[in-house]
A and B are shown apart, each in its own frame.
Chain A
Amino acid sequence: MLEIKNLTVGVPDDSGIGFEAMLDDISLSVDAGQSVGVVGEAGSGKSLLVHAIGGLLRAPVVPFGGEVLFEGRDMISMSADDRRLILGEELSLVLPGGRVRLNPLEKVGRQIMRVQRDHHDELSKVEAHQRAVQLLDRVGIPDPELRAEAYPHELSGGMAQRTVVAMALANSPRFLVADEPTTGIDVTIQRQILEDFASLIREDNVGLLIVTRDLGIVAHFCDRVAVVSEGRIVENAEVREFFKEQKHPVSRELMRATVLEREKAAEWSAAAASD
């Protein structure tokens, strides 16, 4: 469904002819009904990949080669108009940062309505509003009718991020590209949202590419995992295989740090108990 082929993205270098690659020959595919996790340390380029898929690259960062095919259509080379028809409708992005993704001057309910009506002008305001409230409820926001009338600054960080997720789901997309979608959200709500994604994948055959730093999410909500380091994919494996054995040093280090964090935590609390 989503096929990234030899994607190279970078900035032109001082010579004027060459470039510095920030994403280097990336190839990755995600089928319908499949969930692929993309992991890597900060600065590895994983968020840039999401921007590239959504056609959000801005000068001086430009694509230097390759394609991002969504159902055979190249997201990189298509016109902005064509892309606008796809984004938010067939393919949705969830970007991190919560409140910064929302229009500070518009009530959140209206923003969710706008996403719907931009793609479906046959929807009445009442229908769109009802669905907006339903979506807020779906992402675990209490008092959704009340919250629909709130401005982004009146929401907590976690609620703002959940609103971003609600907007991405508004038009029942067939593919989701999510960049740290649950960072800053409570564990119980995170679980709810991820379970929601999982049922979309299972029941509606939705495809999911999820960028995360949390190997726990990968372990339970992904079929495959791709590890990005310095703009390259260094490992691409089936999840069970990956957790049994990581082949690349960067993957091993990521796994080691994660396990170490938990071990240190358990050590500390045991030591504190015996004081």
Chain B
Amino acid sequence: MTTDTPIQEVPAATAESGAPGDDVLIDVRNLSKHFQISRRENLVAVGGVDLSIGRGETVGLVGESGSGKTTLGRVMLRLTEPTDGEIWYGGERISHMSGKEFRTVRPKLQMVFQDPSNSLNPRMTIRTALRDAVRILKLPKDEREQRIAEVLDAVQVSDVLADSHPEALTGSQQQRCAVARSLVMQPDLIVLDEAVSNLDVGGRLEIIELLQDVQERFGVSYLFISHDLTAVRSISHRVAVMYLGLVVEFAPTDTIFESPVHPYTRSLLSAVLYPDPDAGLPEYVLSGEIPSPINLPPGCNLYSRCPVREDACESWDAELFPVERGGAAAKHTAACRRLDDILAGRA
């Protein structure tokens, strides 16, 4: 990095102390998840991630297999416990709460899965499933029924559908119901893990629009995890790109798609096939294969495949650096040693 400009503070706090500001709903600091497969094999699924999600905001999380995006979503909700780092939610460090304490927080953090059968009990009608979900809140009957009616209205599921079993519904209808099931808990955050990936284009458009309406109506935040870049672009305010367990670039959506800087982001975007035979197939830029996530060597994870690598990159410890200079706290960060060269067009 050049020394003539002041270093900007990366907005997500890196110090492991202190609650984040009021607009921040979820703040994840240096979060890691390792799996010790055997005595000598350690798989780093998530390797030290800083991420924040604001109230009423959608953060898109993109990456390919092995990027750690699904694991990050699961760890954030403590569906699986982190190995290291902190998760802050509403001013509290939920990563370090006891199981009992966390259980009171959990209803506010919901998840919608790729396959609706992971959210919907096939033996219950939708309405019964919603009643079953709110049982834990011990609401009085009228309040419960009113909340269910409100939620079904918000996801535009008719009474006929609500009184059916999941198998009678189409894929996108099932996903509407899966969203309803998470909404009925009045969550602050919904993690959507490949929630539109099984749907065709019509279904995707429907669900994305639904999610946008729900966000406007209820102010809920989303972590939208997907490998589908178009879907991510349609709903996210900011996008984080992950590769082998680390966030390699984080910026407002438009910036990621219009002016990405990290070599991995660029190659990901160039692999998208546009429905235009004359558009030309861009050369896809990454060479080789994704290395094994088991016992990853230190240094930049992209080194073996990077089109702009230099020898020194092999031992460079990845860290997110701000991309712009001057003005307010950096909104665009990228983890590349050659950032300056890339911005100057030298790489």
Task: Point out residues on A near B: beta carbons under 8 Å.
Answer: 41-42, 137, 140, 142-143, 156, 158-159, 184, 186-191, 213-220, 239-240, 243, 254-255, 257-262, 264-266, 268-270, 272-273, 275
Contacts and interface: CB of A to CB of B under 8 A. Distances in A.
B276 A269 contact: no
Nearest to B238: A272
A154 B343 CA distance: 41
B197 interface: yes
A219 B277 contact: yes
A227 to B, nearest CB: 14
Interface in B130-149: none
Given A216-B273, A220-B273, A189 B197 contact: no
B233 interface: yes
Main secondary structure of the interface of A (DSSP, over half): helix
A261 B230 contact: yes
A266 B271 CA distance: 17
Contacts of A258: 201, 275
B154 interface: no
B237 interface: yes
Given A42-B170, A187-B229, A269 B274 contact: no
Interface in B183-232: 197, 200-205, 208, 227, 229-231
B65 A158 contact: yes
Interface string B243-268: 00000000011110100000000011
Contacts of A275: 237
A178 B254 CA distance: 35
Contacts of B236: 269, 272
Contacts of A254: 201
B97 interface: no
Nearest to B235: A268
The 4 closest A-B pairs by CB, nearest first: A216-B273, A186-B64, A215-B275, A265-B233
A188 B252 contact: no
Contacts of A272: 236-237, 252-254
Contact of A186 (B65, B237, B253): B65
Given A41-B202, A269-B252, 12 more contacts: A42-B170, A137-B289, A142-B290, A189-B65, A191-B273, A213-B201, A216-B274, A268-B253, A269-B234, A269-B236, A269-B257, A272-B253
Among A191, A269, A273, the most chain B Cβ lie within 10 Å of the Cβ of: A269
Contacts of A189: 64-65
A268 B233 contact: yes
Contacts, number: 116
Contact of A191 (B235, B277, B279, B284): B284
Nearest to A239: B277
B277 to A, nearest CB: 4
B275 A243 contact: yes
Given A243-B276, A269-B253, A260 B205 contact: yes
B286 interface: yes
A151 B236 CA distance: 36
Interface of B: 64-66, 170-171, 197, 200-205, 208, 227, 229-231, 233-237, 252-255, 257, 267-268, 271-279, 281, 284, 286, 289-292, 294
21 contacts: A41-B200, A42-B200, A42-B203, A140-B289, A142-B289, A142-B292, A143-B294, A184-B197, A216-B273, A217-B273, A219-B275, A219-B279, A220-B273, A239-B277, A259-B275, A262-B274, A264-B208, A266-B257, A269-B252, A273-B253, A273-B255
B37 to A, nearest CB: 11
A140 B201 CA distance: 27
Contacts of A262: 230, 274-275
Contact of B272 (A142, A187, A260, A268): A187
B217 to A, nearest CB: 17
B275 A218 contact: yes
Nearest to A259: B275
Contacts of A143: 292, 294
Contacts of B281: 220
B230 A265 contact: yes
A191 B64 CA distance: 13
Contacts of A216: 272-275
A99 to B, nearest CB: 12
Contact of B202 (A158, A257, A264, A269): A257
Nearest to B199: A42
B208 to A, nearest CB: 8
A261 B204 contact: yes
Contacts of A266: 233, 257
Contacts of B275: 215-216, 218-219, 243, 255, 258-259, 262
Contact of A188 (B204, B208, B284): B284
Given A159-B65, A273-B253, A214 B234 contact: no
A273 B252 contact: yes
A143 B66 CA distance: 13
A97 to B, nearest CB: 11
A258 B203 CA distance: 11
B152 to A, nearest CB: 23
A265 B274 contact: no
A219 B274 contact: yes
Nearest to B170: A42
